[in-house]
């Protein structure tokens, strides 16, 4: 805020402190994580900026925060006996089948093959698919429970995938490598990128609103 004195000082806050997952530095406007372990998705935070003038002026905006759970310990790796280029082409249908048979929301974290050359991508019949599942409360389902249900639904999943790939399909389960990063660290990285763009636009909006109110 270009004004002088208290009119030029801004205080930031989360309106009604809507969530326990995040907090905000009232002086800098920096949003940081408090606890996002086991959670993922997009959170919508309403942020308010107010000056310290006698006639306090305020402005609000919504900040969308996306928490990526790719660092979770609950990632499960499936192995499909299909070429990676074919799996990638039909990944939306694979996701649909998994959600239907597991009865959970499923995110495809990664799809890859042990071969990276273009020729190998269309000739190697082994594709790894990393998934993570969430319940209706947006809580991670443990890897153990996901694996158990995958085994229970193995036949049904393979039957549906065969309709997609028009060939015999085997869906096996393999242990995913441990990721050293934590969900909090991943969320912080996402936040730092998001806020670099969002807060600039937010401050411009605040200044424009305050000037318009004064004039």
- The answer to whether residues 106 and 153 touch, using CB atoms and an 8 Å cutoff, is no
Q: Of 1-10, 47-56, 80-89, 170-179, which range is least confident? A: 1-10
Q: Name the burial class of residue 68, with classes exposed (0-12), middle (13-18) and buried (19+) by CB atoms within 10 angstroms of its CB.
A: middle
- The answer to whether residues 68 and 193 touch, using CB atoms and an 8 Å cutoff, is no
What mean pLDDT do residues 99-125 have? 74
pTM: 0.53
The number of domains in the chain is 2
Q: 84 and 47 share a domain?
A: no
What mean pLDDT do residues 37-61 have? 81
Q: Which structural domain range is residue 36 located in? A: 5-69+182-214
- Residues 116-141 pLDDT 10s: 544 444 556 889 999 989 898 878 89
DSSP class of 117: S
* Tally of CB atoms within 10 A around 144: 10
Q: 91 and 130 share a domain?
A: yes
Q: 14 and 48 share a domain?
A: yes
**pLDDT value at residue 56:** 79
**pLDDT value at residue 190:** 46
Q: CATH number, domain at 25? A: 2.60.40
Q: 146 and 95 share a domain?
A: yes
């Amino acid at each position: 805020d270009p004004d002088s004195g208290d009119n030029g000082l801004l205080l930031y806050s989360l309106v009604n402190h809507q969530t326990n997952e995040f907090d905000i530095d009232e002086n800098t406007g920096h949003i940081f994580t408090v606890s996002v372990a086991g959670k993922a998705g997009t959170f919508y935070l309403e942020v308010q900026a107010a000056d310290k003038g006698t006639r306090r002026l305020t402005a609000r905006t919504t900040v969308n925060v996306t928490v990526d759970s790719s660092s979770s310990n609950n990632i499960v790796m499936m192995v499909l006996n299909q070429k990676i280029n074919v799996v990638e082409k039909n990944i939306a249908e694979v996701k649909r089948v998994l959600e239907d048979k597991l009865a959970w929301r499923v995110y495809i974290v990664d799809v890859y093959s042990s071969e990276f050359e273009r020729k190998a991508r269309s000739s190697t019949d082994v594709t790894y698919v990393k998934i993570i599942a969430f319940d209706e409360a947006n809580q991670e389902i443990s890897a153990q429970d996901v694996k158990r249900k995958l085994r229970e639904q193995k036949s049904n999943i393979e039957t549906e995938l065969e309709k997609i790939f028009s060939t015999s399909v085997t869906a096996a389960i393999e242990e995913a490598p441990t990721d050293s990063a934590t969900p909090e660290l991943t969320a912080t990285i996402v936040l730092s990128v998001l806020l670099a763009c969002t807060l600039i636009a937010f401050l411009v909006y605040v200044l424009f609103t305050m000037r318009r109110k004064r004039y």
